Amino acid sequence: MAIWFERPTPESLNAFRANTLVAHLAISFIEVGDDFLRATMPVDARTQQPYGVLHGGASVALAETMGSTGAAACLDRSRYQCFGQEINANHLRPVSSGLVTGTARPFHIGARSQVWGIEIHDDRGHLTCISRITLATVERRV
């Protein structure tokens, strides 16, 4: 069973990137399943730390982008919006080039909060980072 208020498409999600950090980091949504989102991000000069490996902050930016986008897609956005409250990440393996792919799935979708888990893998399928984000669901003010 799908979790989406209105099922998004990669094209509809990517349309919101213009003039944002998401565009600068070249994060691109590539797949939407019944209960997950998948996105990629290149490991290059935009996302590497000075030592030539993927910056942990870039991994967290990918995770937060995916988790908050997924959370928003579960809501009637004319009435509600989500705000990140807490995010954590464990960086498990360095990546120096290529593309990383993240998959985000909800652990909890409640009336006032959502919790999403994100796994990030490198081109070879190695798990490089795991993250969890908690978001508040807030009624929009008129």
3-state helix, strand, coil in the chain (%, to 5): 20, 40, 40
Nearest-CA neighbor of 93 among 113, 123, 71? 123
Distance CA 27, CA 23 (A): 6
Q: Of 64, 86, 119, 139, which is the active-site residue?
A: 64
| H or E stretch at 71 | helix 56-73
Catalytic status, residue 64: yes
The residues that bridge with 102 in the sheet, in sequence order, are 39, 120
Whether the CA torsion 80, 83, 84, 85 is positive or negative: it is negative
Q: What torsion, rounded to 10 degrees, do the Cα atoms 119, 122, 128, 134 define?
A: -30
* Residues marked as catalytic: 64
